[in-house]
Amino acid sequence: MGIISYNTADLLRQCLQSLIETNHVPHEHIVVVDSCSTDTTHEMMHKEYPSITLHILQENKGYAYAVNVAASLLDSEYMLLINADTRFLPDSIRLLVHSAQTLPDGGVWGMQQLYHDYSWQRSYGSFPSLKHTFADGLFLVTLYHKWLALRHTFLRPTKPFPVQYVDGAVMLIRKSVFDELHGFDERYFFYGEETDFCRRVQAQAHRKCYIVPTTTVIHYRGKSSQNAGGANVFFLKNLYSGMLRCASQYSSYKTLVKIQNWEITFAHLKSVLFKLLFLITKKDIFHKKFLYYKTSKEIWLSLRPFIDELCLTQ
């Protein structure tokens, strides 16, 4: 299994403890690929886990690049790719691998992710599209997530189910499929690479992507990306450009422009809504959402040259 880390020494230690002490994973089965961290990651690994392979990259070339490096160091039928900001619950890895072995049509499997308080967290999603932009803009995606959270609490599914893409924090991948597709697309720096990979798994390798709901992992969502450098603008731009890059593989230029225009419209409307709510209630949460959507609108407005470049290189 390969763990991707960047300036997450404490979280990486916790992740390793959950693998070794809770799931009894041997040291020799673990590879840590570190994207040139500047915190105490290297010292911690050499002192506390000297028998675990640590591969230090000379520069941070992005998540997809680090994943491909990790894959080159792994040689097994299945490989588990992990963010350092995860903590595995007892027996979860054994159950995940067992499920994969019973689903021969699968290429990628993911776990049900939870927040630190064990509440439901998004673990999969839909491919970017104009339809998804409308669903998200009209709060339908938010409502759907609320329903999934309720279902997890009161009527938790027990059987694996197919999804369009598995969230990249934890991905069990059939190694032969990964090699067939030449790994992750390194044009993605951060965000969108797992979506693109899962799309290719289904379109090119003709395999399915599954969530195994009986396996669970705590994901401290955002902790890894917070340490990747820069402000929210940096991350949102990577998120939106990754979304557009993925959509460009199966959408026309006209559709990409429509996605951009509607994203701008929805971001503007939401910024107005949350500004009004803040003025009425004085609650800080609404002010934060107002700033988020204001920034989101500005970033979407700046992405037309990127869309032009995408379509010229197709």
DSSP letter at 56 equals E
Question: Once rounded to an integer, what is the mean pLDDT over residues 36-51?
Answer: 94
Nearest-angstrom CA–CA distance, 3 and 8: 11
Give 224's pLDDT tier (boundaries 50, 70, 90). Answer: low
β-partners of residue 219 are 86
Q: Specify the amino acid at residue 199.
A: R
Asked whether residue 229 carries a pLDDT value surpassing 50, the answer given is: no
Per-residue pLDDT, 157: 87
> Which phi and psi (to 5°) does residue 145 adopt?
-65, -35
Beta carbons of 161 and 214 less than 8 angstroms apart: no
- 223 confidence band (pLDDT: 50, 70, 90): low
Residue 153 has pLDDT above 60, yes or no: yes
Task: Please give the radius of gyration of the chain, using alpha carbons only, rounded to the nearest integer.
Answer: 20
Decide if pLDDT at 231 tops 50.
Answer: no
Q: Measured between alpha carbons, how far apart are the two ends of the chain, in Å?
A: 34
The pTM assigned to this predicted structure is 0.91
CA–CA separation, 236 and 146 (whole Å): 23
Give the C-alpha separation, 234 to 105, whole Å.
37
Q: pLDDT, tens digit, for every residue of 118-139?
A: 999 999 999 999 999 999 999 9
Average pLDDT of the segment spanning 191-218: 96
Q: Which amino acid is at 112?
A: Q
pLDDT in tens, 73-99: 999 999 999 999 999 999 999 999 999
The CATH class that applies to domain 2-226 reads alpha beta
What confidence score (pLDDT) does residue 115 get? 95
